[in-house]
Amino acid sequence: MYARAASKIAARGYASVSSPVVSTANGIKVAALGNDSGLASLSLVVNAGSRFETAETAGAAHFLKAFGFRNTQGRTSFRTIREAELNGAMLSAEATRENIVYRVECFKEAVPYFVEVLAELATATKYAEHEFNEVARVVAFEALSARTDAATRALDGVHQAAFRSGLGNSLYAPAAAPVATGGAVAEYARRALTAGRVAVVGSGVDAQELAQLVGASKLAELPSENALASAPTAFAGGVQQLYETAAPVAHYALAFSCAPEAASTLAALLGTQRRVKWGHGGSELAQAAAQGGFAADAFSFAYSDAGLVGVLVSAPTAQLRSAVETVAATVQKHIARPSANAVQRAVAAAKVDVAEQLSLQTGAVRALGQIALGQNAATLESVEKAAGSLSKTAESVFASKPVAVSIGLSQSTPYVDTLGF
């Protein structure tokens, strides 16, 4: 059933994400997907996420994201927003551990204009000090909001425990960020915005036409040298304890190192996603959580040189220890040694999830940007490849020692070395 659903979604969307990647004269990667609607999207993808920060630039990627569509040498932010509204366009920005993405969704006829807007953003943003103060307030609020969300803190902590630096860097600027001026953001932007670290991807536009627009824009002025570097990722392993003495609900995340290509399929094997309205999920882990009265949510992350897969457990503080021990025992007994039926169910579910994501314009363009920059992107092809050795991969991954992050009273939290891994 899941396989048939995946094929239907793929038929109406972008599930193959196949597009030639074109390079401009200075090395910017350009790719695009066609569509039959009157809408288009453009994304300026900069390979300068938080993994490239150092102790001196911690939080710089967060600030650079927040400076998107601000004042440039040729346009005020007021003009940019007003003209976007007059064109019915939507502007947005996001930062991940690997990339900063500036996105425009607009009518197809407005694509040339917004290529120029993105080009000015990349080459002529002012980073003025008075504007930095406003941006700093936005960044501080976003960071505070993230730190008050237990799931966000746990997943951020998982990365820090697993990788320490690089991919272990937080997505959010620290409260006392060393980046304290517009000049500091401008310096990070100067090092980040080089042609080899930039891709322009879109939908609803021809790739060759988009490459010509990019080549004729100010993006052609971006230098070719690479001034940012990140050491190869190593899974360090570790434990983080975040105390929340007054919280009635405690949280515990277990995460395992895996190949990035297999991350999403392994998460589907954990099987905690509810797929039937009144159901709890088809896996033994989902059933154990339902019977035990706690929540267990699978997660996965795939990066260019590393992957993580795991489960976030949430339970009343007094029950957290037993809940985590139940999850650990279930993973070792059933998930690390999956039945043929469990493997079939996981592969089908992973295909549906990927096909559904790629049927949306945003998901397809995000994957295309990752592919253009040589990063890992979840596609139906990658799921098929991981499916062939899923049982063997699961045995290897879920038998390894995980990292753990806990939020709650230390007396209620089990240590990871007591869980049998």
- pLDDT tens track for 354-408: 999 988 888 999 999 999 998 988 888 889 988 889 999 999 999 999 999 999 8
pLDDT at 6: 43
Least-confidence region, from 34-38, 141-145, 170-174, 297-301: 34-38
275 vs 80: which has the higher pLDDT:
80
Contact 257, 235 (CB under 8 A): yes
Q: Residue 256: pLDDT above 70?
A: yes
Per DSSP, the residues of 2-13 read HHHHHHHHHHHS
6 vs 52: which has the higher pLDDT:
52
408 vs 81: which has the higher pLDDT:
81
Cβ neighbour number for residue 274 with a 10 Å cutoff: 12
**Mean residue pLDDT across the chain:** 90
Q: Residue 236: pLDDT above 90?
A: no
- pLDDT tens track for 18-33: 668 889 999 999 999 9
Residues in the chain, overall count? 421
Least-confidence region, from 16-20, 60-64, 131-135, 395-399: 16-20
- Average pLDDT, integer, range 40-56: 96
DSSP-assigned letter for residue 30: E
Q: Residue 409: pLDDT above 90?
A: no
Max intra-chain CA distance, the chain = 63
pLDDT at 1: 41
pLDDT at 274: 73
- Average pLDDT, integer, range 89-109: 96
pLDDT at 310: 96
Could you tell me the pTM of the whole model? 0.90
Least-confidence region, from 114-123, 324-333, 374-383: 374-383
Per DSSP, the residues of 131-200 read HHHHHHHHHHHHHHHHHT-HHHHHHHHHHHHHHSSGGGS-SS--TT-S--SHHHHHHHHHHH--GGGEEE
> Across 45-59, 226-240, 265-279, which has the greatest mean pLDDT?
45-59
pLDDT at 278: 65
- Average pLDDT, integer, range 276-292: 81
Q: Residue 11: pLDDT above 50?
A: no
- pLDDT tens track for 140-192: 999 999 999 999 999 999 999 999 999 999 999 999 889 999 999 999 999 99
pLDDT at 158: 95
6 vs 269: which has the higher pLDDT:
269
9 vs 253: which has the higher pLDDT:
253
Confidence at 277, pLDDT banded by 50, 70, 90: low
- Of 122, 93, 97, 117, the closest CA to residue 192 belongs to 122
Confidence at 9, pLDDT banded by 50, 70, 90: very low
Token pair for residue 35?
């569509």
- Of 29, 27, 31, 2, the closest CA to residue 14 belongs to 31
